[in-house]
Amino acid sequence: MKYEPLNNIGVMIHAVDLDITKFVNDKLKAIQLTNEQNLLMALLWEREGISQNEMAAKLNKDKAGIARMISTLEKKGYIRRKSCPNDKRSVEVYLTEEGRKLGDDVIPINKNIIQALNNGMTEEEIGELRRLLMKIRGNVNIL
C-alpha cells in the first residue's frame, strides 16, 4: 500500500464531519443553537430526566464538555438541572417550557437536515454506510 497521509479514509471522514457541522450550524444559526447543543437538546426531546453522565456516554463527549453545554443551555432558559433522588452526586436534566417550545421549531429543521444528508441514498446504502462507519469505529477503538 502506497503511503499517502492526506489521501485516506480518516481524512475524508474528518472533512465530511466538518462540512456536516458547518451545514447544521448554518441551519440553526437563527435559533442561536450550535450543532453540539442541538444534539444535547435532541436527547431531551426524546426523553427528559437523563443524567449528565448518560448524556456524555450517548454523545461520546467528555463530562466537562457536557457540563459546559448544560450550563449554556440553562442560561438560555431551555433546560434545568435537578439532583437525582437516588444519588445526590448525580444530576438529571429536564426541559423548561421554553425548551419544549424550542423543539417545535428545531425538530422539523433536524428532520430536514437528516433528509438532506440522506438525499440520493437508498435505505440499503444508508445501512451499509452505518455498518462501515461502525466497523471503522471498532477498528480505532481496539488500537
- 131: confidence class by pLDDT, cuts 50, 70, 90: very high
Share of the chain above pLDDT 90, in %: 83
What local confidence, expressed as pLDDT, does residue 141 receive?
A: 86
CA gap 66, 43 in Å, rounded: 12
- The C-alpha torsion from 20 through 26 and 30 to 32, rounded to 10°, is 50
Summarize the confidence of residues 112-126 as an average pLDDT.
97
pLDDT at site 96: 97
The residue type found at 37 is: Q
Inter-residue contact 55 to 66 (CB < 8 Å): yes
Considering only 85-89, 124-128, 138-142, which range has the smallest mean pLDDT? 85-89
Question: To the nearest whole percent, how much of the chain has pLDDT over 70?
Answer: 99
Interval 60-82 mean pLDDT: 94
pLDDT at residue 143, as a whole number: 61
Residue 109: all three cell numbers together: 429543521
* pLDDT one-digit tens code per residue, 22-37: 999 999 999 999 999 9
Instruction: Indicate the pairing of strand 79-83 with strand 50-51.
Output: unpaired
Q: Per-residue pLDDT for 86 more than 80?
A: no
DSSP labels, 46-115:
H-SSEEHHHHHHHHT--HHHHHHHHHHHHHTTSEEEEE-SS-TT-EEEEE-HHHHHHHHHHHHHHHHHHH
d(CA 140, CA 143): 5
pLDDT in tens, 35-62: 999 999 999 999 999 999 899 999 999 9
Among 1.10.10.10, 1.10.3330.10, 3.40.50.2300, 3.40.190.10, name the CATH number for the domain at 9-141.
1.10.10.10
Q: What's the whole-model pTM score?
A: 0.85
